[in-house]
Amino acid sequence: MSDSQAAPQDGATPTLVIAFSNLGHVFTHLFTILYATAVLHLPAVFGLPYGELLGLASVGLVLYGVAALPAGWLGDRWSQIGMMVVFFAGTGAGSIVTGLANGTGGLFAGLTLIGLFASIYHPVGIAWLVASVRRQGVTLGFNGVFGSMGSAIGPVFVGAMIDWVSWRAAFIVPGVLAIGAGVLLAFMWWRGKLHDARSDRAPAAPPGRGAMARVFVILTFTMTCGGFIYSGLTNTMPKLFETGLGPELAGSYTQIGLYVGAITGAASLSSLLGGWLADRYSPRQVYLTFWLLSVLPVYLMTTTRDGALLGATLLAMFFHTAYGASENLLVARYTPFRWRALAYGAKFVLALGVGGLAVHLAGKLFDQAGSFDLMYLGFAGFALLAFACALALPRAHAARPLPATA
């Protein structure tokens, strides 16, 4: 296959694909984290306890994972770009509905719509990106940074809106921006500036069926653990800092948002490190290393306060974010192109679908015990189990590009 034939964008450069995929990653993490900070303020607005209001997001977060499977199937069978247009428009509309809510019914509807449409990004946007570039590890690393930027910007933005404007603006403003991005993508698609990927830009030797099945089974478990931990950490971090830092360090919603944003933003740099390592060394070894390193700091989050709590949380998020590029690379290398988006959909059903369960459990535990200690101890145990399970991943798979004449 010649280089021009292999290019999935019909000879076009992948720059626009990278731009829209990275922008989509910002939005999907931004929209799914806005409520975690806003809900600190909403008990005073709606007169309901924190745990009950937090639970309103659980169905949307379950759909964020579960709906990724049909979204991936549609991306493979219909259009990657078309699904991305639906993603931008749908998440934007859901956010606006949330911002206009006058009761728990409106909040539930808006948050559910956000989760449903946000589920499109990971299976479709990442599959589109992987097929469009040659240096997949580094590109996935940069893409991970943009996703973490959304998680980092969200709490700061919400805190500032609550303190200076309105909690409603925290949802309506990004909703309008996302719809605008969807309109722009649809226009460029209509003008022929972008095309769906038809093959891998950097094809690799196909794995054996036995290796594919083995990787699928192992990653099923590790990705479920990862999704439970990540959703739990990101959605409880604002409340953790409100209770664990005290009024001296966290005296306003803006301050809490700044802490969450700074830690998430700093941790996002580990995506670059993880992607760089995955391109140069075994993705399996990178995956194992960062899973093991994440165990201790998650445990320390249950025993520390003040500045030490910030340090433990930073390390936990840093190590947990670092293995993302190697995980996505393992999925790509052990999945045929024609099923790539569906495979990522299956991955995120596991990785994100359990997020709603984690948030529901977190709300129940906090209302009963006044802390997240028991949940974080469980996270440390899941991380250790995931490391042990990942030891069974195949030691090597040839990922060299196929000869030009193949």
Q: Tell me, what's the pLDDT at 397?
A: 47
Task: Measure the CA–CA gap between 33 and 28, rounded to whole angstroms.
Answer: 9
Q: Which domains does the chain have, with CATH numbers?
A: 8-390 (1.20.1250.20)
pLDDT in tens, 210-255: 567 777 788 888 888 888 888 888 888 888 888 888 777 777 777 8
Task: Measure the CA–CA gap between 333 and 145, rounded to whole angstroms.
Answer: 22
- Name the token pair of 270: 């580990």
Tell me which residue of 81, 68, 75 sits closest to 28, measured CA to CA.
68
Tell me which residue of 306, 10, 267 sits closest to 149, measured CA to CA.
267
The one-letter code for the residue type at 89 is A
SS3 328: helix
How many other C-beta atoms are found inside a 10 Å radius of the C-beta of residue 392?
11
**pTM to 2 decimals?**
0.72
pLDDT score of 13 more than 80 = no
- Name the token pair of 132: 């469009």
Partner residues linked to 401 by β-bridges: 204
pLDDT in tens, 252-263: 777 888 888 888
pLDDT band at 208 (very low <50, low <70, confident <90, very high): low
- How far CA 172 is from CA of 17, 175, 207, in Å, comes to 26, 5, 46
Task: Measure the CA–CA gap between 86 and 16, rounded to whole angstroms.
Answer: 18
pLDDT in tens, 124-181: 988 888 777 777 777 888 888 898 788 778 888 998 899 899 999 999 999 999 999 9
Q: State residue 173 phi and psi, 5-degree precision.
A: -60, -55
* pLDDT above 70 as % of the chain: 86
pLDDT in tens, 58-94: 889 888 878 888 888 888 888 889 999 999 999 999 9
Tell me which residue of 261, 88, 44 sits closest to 160, measured CA to CA.
261
Task: Measure the CA–CA gap between 54 and 355, rounded to whole angstroms.
Answer: 12
- Count of positions (residues) in the chain: 406
Q: Tell me, what's the pLDDT at 211?
A: 65
